[in-house]
A and B are shown apart, each in its own frame.
Chain A
Amino acid sequence: MSKAIYALYDDDEVMMDGARSILSKNLRINDVYSPFPVHGLENVLGIKWTRIAITAFLYGLTAATLALLGLWYIMIEDWPMNIGGKPNEFLYQNLPAFIPVTFEFTVLCASHGMAITYLIRNRTFPGAKARNPHPRTTDDHFAIEIMKEENSGMSDDDIRDILKETNPVEIFEK
């Protein structure tokens, strides 16, 4: 017994129109698989705005604090470094010299943090098994996924009929 029915399309515009007409018939779409970001699709599917920017800000803030703390401990507190005779009693006196390192560390942590968060959130770890229903959704085809549980009010044949009207190149179950 398969869990989902898929409609495969060879054009993103056809797929978008298809998604609109499927939704207008009260059929719920679980997900769409696409080889590239399709403009406007998130509005059609009603996907919520990503919060990854907030995580990036928090990673950056943490990194900047950590970097300054580390520099303060290494260069000021633990063993005051005398470089070019500059005063080294307090952090602020040497702050300009520490900014490039702080900046780089902030960028490093924010970008890696974002990438790792993204991978964890989507469960796409390196070496993870591919979850796309059809190999061509990473090439030039688009698949709309309909879960049977979510549409228990309709029989498989009803779903197939609705999908057929949207001009897919193939309908399959998995």
Chain B
Amino acid sequence: MEYVFSDKTKRLTFILMGVGLLSILLGFFLGGDHASQRVWTSILISGFFFFGIALASTFFLALQYAAEAGWAVVFKRIFEGISAYLPVAAITLILVFLAGTFHLHHIYHWMDPQLYDPASEHYDAIIAHKEPFLNLPFWWIRTLAYLGIYIWFTRLFRKRSLEEDGLEPTNRSFFVKNQTLAAIFLVLFGYTSTTFSWDWIMSIDTHWFSTIFGWYIFSGMWISGLVMMSLLVIYLKSKGLMDFVNDSHMQDLGKWVFGVSFLWTYLFFCQFMLYWYSDIPEEIIYFKARIDDYTWVFWGTFIINFIFPMLLLMSKDAKRNAGFMTFVGCIIFFGHWLDVFMFVTPGAMKDHGHIGLVEIGTFLGFLGLFLFVVLNALSKRSLLVKGHPYLQESLHHHIN
């Protein structure tokens, strides 16, 4: 059950990366008035999207340990493979943040020091009021702390997993240790996923705030991660490398995709409805910018990410059908990329944003980078863990 990262596949990922690099360069030189802003925006969109997928994978792995769930042990190497992208994702995000700090782009409007200076004509009382939290040094400390925590936990999970391969399945020492680790991670993740959503995404629309925003971002990350896991498993299974994964595993993964799609919709609607209902100018501005200037993308995202999985993934047979799951998975995947597009673009580009060559090209480039790192990590070890105490339970997983 060894996955070999063939030269052909490698070449494909390099081509994707080349397309990405080319669209970034073309965007810089031929992009017109908002060229640099547009390119950085699209790097942030795709960078954050794939960061979310990698992080969701570590989260999901930790969740299996904390819940003492046995069924997903056959997917453990997939989780580890996807989360191997986390350090690379951190670098891409840090690049965007550095560029912002040095004013190469103005996605983060609040990074402009004049806003905090009462003598300046650009003085913004609302943003100045947020200064104790939203100032560059503290923001950078938080950013590095989040990334550091996530990468440290991910690497520790991976290290223990490789060591566990040499142990007897009756040896539960690593399992118990990992449970503690997972519990600590989930608590940290619970707080930091909310605060990084404020810091990296919500602060783009600096005046606006939403208390449920962290959950909304988190649910989007989670569903994108689950779709990525499903697609990877389907791909590897079609190559005959994951024959130990049976229909029941696929159905359970499909259930997660189905269920978390609802979680996302629920949070989307929670946030939307309360603002829509109260209709307070300083709050509704966020949705006004989106619904007025990006009508089709905004509602299209909602329809793609809610109606599609609801209607198409409801039945048991649909979840077990690889072709069907691939079709729905690709659509949801793109839908959640659009969702991230919706987080960033209206704030960063005002009404000048659109989905064109730069955005799609950058997305493809990041996809290539992501696939290269993930497939490379998967090819390092056997696709099935060896010493996990719940391995047999997972191999015999059966539901009706």
Contact = CB atoms under 8 A, between A and B. Distances in A.
Interface of A: 39-40, 42, 49, 53, 57, 84, 86, 96-97, 99-100
- Could you tell me the dominant secondary structure of chain B's interface residues? helix
A53 B398 CA distance: 20
Contact of B272 (A42, A49, A96): A96
B12 to A, nearest CB: 40
A84 B398 contact: no
A39 B269 CA distance: 38
B279 A96 contact: no
Contact of A96 (B276, B314, B315, B400): B276
A39 B276 CA distance: 48
B400 A42 contact: yes
Nearest to B277: A97
A46 to B, nearest CB: 13
Interface in B224-264: none
Contact of A39 (B272, B273, B277, B398): B398
A96 B265 CA distance: 13
A97 B273 contact: yes
Interface residues of B, number: 11
B287 to A, nearest CB: 11
Given A40-B398, A97-B273, A99-B269, A84 B279 contact: yes
**Chain A: interface secondary structure?**
helix
A40 to B, nearest CB: 7
A12 to B, nearest CB: 15
B132 to A, nearest CB: 34
List of 3 A-B pairs having minimum Cβ-Cβ separation, nearest first: A96-B273, A96-B276, A97-B277
Contacts of B278: 84
Contacts of A39: 398
A50 B305 CA distance: 29
Interface in B1-48: none
Contacts of A100: 273
B273 A99 contact: yes
Among B272, B279, B400, residue most surrounded by chain A Cβ atoms (within 10 Å): B400
B309 to A, nearest CB: 15
A56 to B, nearest CB: 10
Contacts of B314: 57
